[in-house]
Structure 1
């Protein structure tokens, strides 16, 4: 009996922000996977170890959480004034599904450094010592990200003293600028507030009518008040992820919000769009103890935010959701802004399960529409392993 051989694909395993993913250069993929479609999806599923009915991804590179079940494909940019095209695939854990509908803000922190190391950025754009400015085209949502990557002796500097809650060890700081972050998601009309309102009444069967801020910025996100759904905003993962009823409630909110945002036409379509939109709940500042045992004081933060990702409460905060938080906080009258005390602001520090994070954004009104030209935050990134991933040749 003949058995398929394993094939080797050049790849790099990288931590970006509070996520990890497998990074590829487009040119290194097998020919069938160099174009979008079923072969590419099947290859990435096998690399990550999905679908896994055990939910562990033991036979792949995934780490059995939404934060560690991620893939990135990079190529030299075909767009003017950009260095690299960045495509992100969120791989489902227990289903044969790769979601291409949104970006990963955390892994965005690793795109610039990988692009430099992989020879995708022209040499004359990389200083011998200093900061390389890498212009990234985020292909999933059609947006520009600018990464400021530290360089020492001509190579990407990964070590440093920048600390990021949710990441155990310090590393070099990478500042990210998300340019014009209102997401042009299909069906959302490109509007930051697709319903036209800063706050809507969202009727959710089995839950009731919830006040909701639904925003396209960084990633489409539905914000509700923690108190309205029985929470305080100080919850950690176990309080929600072990509660099947709560997870069902959040998925119901997500599906009905997605319809209101114009992202899907019927709630049944939500199952095929797991990565977006996100659902988050907000609350005014309060004391709590983070997942690492660190005490977070109400005086340390402007508000509390907890967010769901791929059906589970995130252990920290998705980078794209942080952009949504910063953007919504800058616009007076949104639920995020009100939880932070209301009024005008250009930055917020919010509490999440692993600690705190600061994100900045400046909002203006143009012809009656809210516009945010840029959102800024700092993350870090580090290569964990490089070489090849192996998968059976008949995987795709």
Structure 2
């Protein structure tokens, strides 16, 4: 692989002495990073779980904090020399608590799955019953998949969605809770495009004496920007990621009340994790600071507006939009009306420079497609671009060979890292 002039010209974030040192020392690795930068800039990044971090977040990720071993928590580390990383973690914790109105925050989880694992470890014991959204309806692997620790260690009962509307059936959730008396109820999904009714989940959990765990990995960024309701006042524990709409580094966090703080902290370290990734925690602090600004608030609302506009455009192109629309950054759609299944549609869209995922179709055969508007909104796209993208979707599924050039024309006008 060689670095082409086009690749060299992409993001200004790579115009730094440290990256130049990498290019001289290990050109093969540098070529891969440059090529990935080109891929991200030249195609539409529509995976609902992805976004573009700011240059400030990237700077924190590449900082000397990556060198520091810091098992434990601020003030009680197992290694010396932690005074400054303690300050970085305290900053991240304080900003998270303020941003989300939480009494306690743990910013050490390495991922959203790590956060969920720690929440289960804090509240449950192997064999306990847990009620969560079933995987065919949008549940996550940590919500009871047999391929995951959750499905092997706990007895999961699945709730679903209404066959006609695609919305969560709260009567079914209540019935299953009364029948199975779970130790915990999990609300959250990887593809449900509507806001959960956290108050209804809290009422059901209280009725059966269950903990309520909100897996807010997807909506937490919208919550930060005031574009989605917060689970914090209702859930005993909120698990989340710091990437996706929140636009921070890849990682997780846990929010909870003061009464569970010690149990959550001990479940993260030493029970499920070792040394904290201090460069990532510093980057989380930067992202939380960015998310507290009016500019981010406007961004979060634009993400939702763009998703609704794009959903309307896809419906006009012949896609069946799940639940009839969206309240969030997520859109689920069935391309069967265009004569293809989700996997075929994803392949044709990828060939045309539009990158997205497939998703399960509740009560249907095959798979649909799942996409999100977080990354393209970060690039500055708005409603006019959503209309263009919807048209490009229809053309790509029908294998119009001109789509790739039109996608590159669009992305060229909205670079993720303008100089």
> What TM-score do you get using the length of structure 1 for normalisation?
0.25
> What TM-score do you get using the length of structure 2 for normalisation?
0.24
More helix by share: 2
Max radius of gyration: which structure? 2
- Give the number of the structure with larger relative contact order, counting CA–CA contacts within 8 Å between residues 6 or more apart: 2
